[in-house]
A = this chain, B = another copy of it.
Amino acid sequence: MRGETYFILFLGIAVASHSALASKKLLKEQSPCKSFVLYYHDTLFNGTDAVNATSAMVANKTSLGDFNFGMLVVFDDPMTTDNHLLSPPVARAQGFYFYDKKNEYNAWFAYTLVFNSSEHKGTLNIMGADLMPEKTRDLSVVGGTGDFFMARGIVTLQTDTLQGDFYFRLKMDIKLYECY
């Protein structure tokens, strides 16, 4: 009888654990189960330099505003562990971005980080707004495969350099809060 009471009590607690998870700030205060920093290098095709280019424009900017509204770029960009373009890539970022604001630069990204090294095999799927005027901006890791099976988390972007119209580099701080 007393055992049953305990059982019910503790079952209640265990089932309630999701509500606990669902309550604010539990994970916010906890550190990621996995995190790493990578650099994203976007070298836009200028029409002639196919050897070095890793992205290309597939839809032109519209005439709405002066900040490339609607310009859509597809990329297969190298990811490196430091900020050197020519460092050996540890992953590829495959996806697209477009500009979407008429009165300032602002973008939106969806892409997959594809890992195929001795250290990691698998992918992370990411989407979100790149609020370019902000010093840092957060996107969502919405899923993963392989070594990153079912992962979720946050990617914090920071512009590392911007060189003319054809090269920019982002620091990506990848933090996973759900790992398996």
Q: Using a CB–CB distance below 8 Å, which chain A residues touch chain B?
A: 6-7, 9-11, 13-18, 20-28, 33, 45, 47, 50, 53-54, 56-60, 62-65, 69-72, 74-76, 94-96, 98-102, 106, 108, 110-112, 114, 122-123, 125, 127-129, 131, 138-146, 149-150, 152-154, 177-180
Contact = CB atoms under 8 A, between A and B. Distances in A.
Nearest to A25: B180
A149 B29 CA distance: 11
A114 B9 CA distance: 41
A130 B36 CA distance: 24
Contacts of A96: 98, 100, 108
Contacts of A58: 59-60, 62, 70-72, 98
Contacts of A139: 125, 145
Given A63-B47, A125-B128, A125-B140, A94 B108 contact: yes
Centre residue among A111, A154, A180 by max chain B CB count within 10 A? A180
Contact of A26 (B64, B72, B94, B180): B180
B110 A98 contact: no
Nearest to A153: B150
Contact of A100 (B6, B62, B75): B75
B138 A140 contact: no
Nearest to A143: B140
A145 B128 contact: yes
A114 B20 CA distance: 26
A150 B14 CA distance: 20
